[in-house]
Amino acid sequence: MGDEYKIPRNLIRKIISKAPCFSSGENFNRYPGVITEGHETNCQYNNVILYIQNGHKGKFDFFESLLKDIAKIQSSRARKYRLFIFGFGNSKELQHEDKYFELRGNNIILKKKEIIDVLENITTDNKCSEAIIPALFPKSQGRNFYTNRTKINREDLLIIIGNKDEVYFNETLKSQLKLSIRKHILLIEFDNNTINYIFYPKELIFCKTKTTSKMNFKRNFKNIPSLMDVSPSTNLFSSIMRDDCKNQDIFLTIRNGYLDFYHKGGRLFKYDKNGFQTHIKYAAVITKGKDNYLTEKDLASYKLNIDFADNYKRIKENCANYSGLEAKGVSQLYQRYSYLSDSKIVVLDIEVSFKSLKNDKKQDRIDILLFNTKTKELQFVEAKHYSNKEIRSTKKPDVIEQIERYQEQIATNKASIIAEYGKYTKILNDIFGKNIPKPEKICKSVTLLIFGFDDDQKKRGLKKIESSLNKTKYYSKGDIKSIKIDSLWRKDCVEL
């Protein structure tokens, strides 16, 4: 077995230095650095609790190496300690085998086969890309397992094993995970071919509950080789559209297993395992004859052109002609500040849909997602044209309820949004050869963008609209073409 799984020596020393200390002959704990006169002082954690994400079955070398490292950390033979093993993934409760291991010093190695068997049984091979730790300790199933044991305390060492960006804590655990407990957490992250060992992680990712809307929010696409194919029959992207994306004439977005391509407010193409698809109203392109005009009799002899590449320009024209005012306005932003631009703040995604948290709606769709590539922060923006009735009311405009609903989505799905857009940027980098960083945080508020008004409307109507928005954060600009994205970005945003 190689050294790739070993916890670094300096980190083991640090973990040991933070262990509570006790004197031989005493039954209570001291804290690091406290020495009791007249007795031999030992430092060791009361208990070691292992939490392992589902889907790590078969990592025998890693498990064996981890047990050896635990033996180094818990090397004192002056007192016994308990090893608990819990699994987490999609279930509402921690998974366990209703038992623990009572250990002393290095005898964890003598029991390694039995312990690894439990690890294998609990983690299984059922992969879970968004695994939530629902509790720190399971509900009692019997007296033997939980004798005098109901919760985690600051004398315990918590070891959490999972994949990078896939481990979350139920939000109800915030009050339990106090600083004194967080200081004794060792997070072991599998990140492709590397392992990260993080002791006392500065940030833990919490989520409210494992709702359907959260788990359904996905950003993935695995068919990049097919998209990049340069063969004559499938080269629409590689020969034409990729350059249009780089020139910001086309905006590529990643969905759950497919891609959307936008042009001047319309969805020009969708691309999935079946190839490129476009709406029939865009694709209705007649092969051009000698004259731009034709009679009803001529029409009978004409046929639709069935080649997307040959009629790409005409399909784009049709797409632009069908776009609404707000969609065209949003396109003015992504055609100047896309993620392929040199701007520090970019448009990362548009038309971001979540399954509604309410029963009366099927989808919540937010118009724009901005990304600050320097601070690695995400911000959502909802765009409304001045003519939209939703921004007008003598009491409370409909747009306020809409913004509040979107902000609830962000609060509920924060961890998932950050993780999925980490995947999103990686896919963009793979397609375009860029180095877009992964998001690390998100603004909890949604900015309202109002545009499409002239000077007279600004003087007479806009002030009335703005006064009715109460505390809703907004940005207004008559001509959206003149918007500077730095001005749209909210610098006073509160991070979730």
Residue 307 included in any domain: no
Buried b (16+ CB within 10 A) or exposed e, 187-222: bbbbeeeebebebeeeebbbbbebeebbbebbbebe
Same domain, residue pair 328 and 435: yes
CB 346 within 8 A of CB 373: yes
pLDDT at 411: 86
User: Does residue 278 have a pLDDT over 80?
Assistant: yes
Sequence length of the chain is 496
| AA letter at 404 | E
Residue 59 included in any domain: yes
For residue 408 the two structure tokens come to: 């609830």
User: Does residue 370 have a pLDDT over 50?
Assistant: yes
Place of tokens 């001509």: 479
Please give the residue that has the higher pLDDT: either 246 or 285: 246
pLDDT at 76: 86
Domain count, the chain: 2
Q: Please state, for a pLDDT cut of 70, what percent of the chain lies above it.
A: 85
Mean of per-residue pLDDT scores for the chain: 86
Same domain, residue pair 402 and 370: yes
CA dist., res. 213 & res. 264, Å (int):
29
Residue where one domain finishes, among candidates 184, 210, 236: 210
Q: Dihedral of CA 6/11/17/19: which sign? A: negative
Strand order in the sheet with 167-170: 131-133, 167-170, 206-207
pLDDT in tens, 92-116: 889 998 889 999 988 899 999 999 9
Residue 258 included in any domain: yes
What are the residues whose beta carbons fall under 8 Å from the beta carbon of 97, sequence distance 6 or more?
85, 118, 121, 122
Mean pLDDT value of segment 382-396: 88
User: Does residue 303 have a pLDDT over 70?
Assistant: no
Mean pLDDT value of segment 2-18: 90
Residue 330 domain boundaries: 224-276+324-488
Instruction: Give the dihedral of Cα atoms 445, 485, 249, 240; nearest 10 deg.
Output: -80
pLDDT in tens, 307-332: 788 889 989 999 999 999 999 999 99
Same domain, residue pair 239 and 385: yes
| AA letter at 488 | L
Determine the 3-state secondary structure of 429 from DSSP: helix
Same domain, residue pair 264 and 413: yes
User: Does residue 249 have a pLDDT over 90?
Assistant: yes
Concatenating the DSSP letter of every residue in 113-159 gives: HHHHHHHHHHH-S---SSEEE--SSPPP--TTTTTT--S--TTEEEE
CA dist., res. 143 & res. 77, Å (int):
27
User: Does residue 248 have a pLDDT over 80?
Assistant: yes
CA dist., res. 299 & res. 88, Å (int):
64
* Confidence class for position 216, pLDDT limits 50, 70, 90: low
Residue where one domain finishes, among candidates 177, 210, 243: 210
Same domain, residue pair 129 and 265: no
Same domain, residue pair 247 and 362: yes
Mean pLDDT value of segment 410-419: 87
Residue 495 included in any domain: no
Distance of CA 357 to the CA centre of its chain: 18
Q: Phi and psi of 454, rounded to 5°?
A: -100, -175
Residue 123 included in any domain: yes
pLDDT in tens, 195-215: 999 999 988 888 765 443 344
pLDDT at 97: 86
Determine the 3-state secondary structure of 489 from DSSP: coil
Same domain, residue pair 123 and 232: no
Same domain, residue pair 368 and 476: yes
Same domain, residue pair 365 and 431: yes
Mean pLDDT value of segment 139-162: 72
Residue 65 included in any domain: yes
Residue where one domain finishes, among candidates 210, 234, 255: 210
pLDDT in tens, 425-479: 999 999 999 999 999 999 989 999 999 998 888 888 887 887 777 778 889 899 9
Residue 284 included in any domain: no
Please give the residue that has the higher pLDDT: either 429 or 394: 429
User: Does residue 29 have a pLDDT over 70?
Assistant: no
Residue 288 included in any domain: no
CA dist., res. 205 & res. 425, Å (int):
20
For residue 441, with 0-12 CB atoms within 10 Å meaning exposed, 13-18 middle and 19 or more buried, which class applies?
middle
CB 122 within 8 A of CB 12: no
pLDDT at 288: 59
CA dist., res. 262 & res. 350, Å (int):
9
Same domain, residue pair 21 and 104: yes
Query: What pTM was computed for the model?
Result: 0.60
CA dist., res. 75 & res. 81, Å (int):
11
User: Does residue 401 have a pLDDT over 50?
Assistant: yes
Same domain, residue pair 156 and 236: no
Same domain, residue pair 412 and 342: yes
- Of residues 308, 311, 330, 309, the one with CA closest to residue 262: 330
* Confidence class for position 277, pLDDT limits 50, 70, 90: very high
Place of tokens 């020009």: 268
